[in-house]
Amino acid sequence: MLLSTDVWAGALIRRAELEGAYATVVKKGDARGGAVIVKAYNTSERTARLFTEATG
């Protein structure tokens, strides 16, 4: 059984905050089966990376 998107996103936010980072949800879609795209911004290098889930 797979986790719903809202539970998974909440866990990612909690994990980031425990490490001292800031995380927020910018746009919400379907709470059960929506896609999650994470933008990670490195303030020291001023670079950003995008991550999404992968199956297979």
Q: Please state, in angstroms and rounded to a whole number, the distance separating the CA atoms of residues 41 and 54.
A: 20
- Model confidence, pTM: 0.70
Q: What does the pLDDT average to over 28-52?
A: 89
pLDDT at 54: 77
**Is 1's pLDDT higher than 60?**
no
Beta-carbon contacts of residue 41 (< 8 Å; ≥ 6 apart)? 47, 48
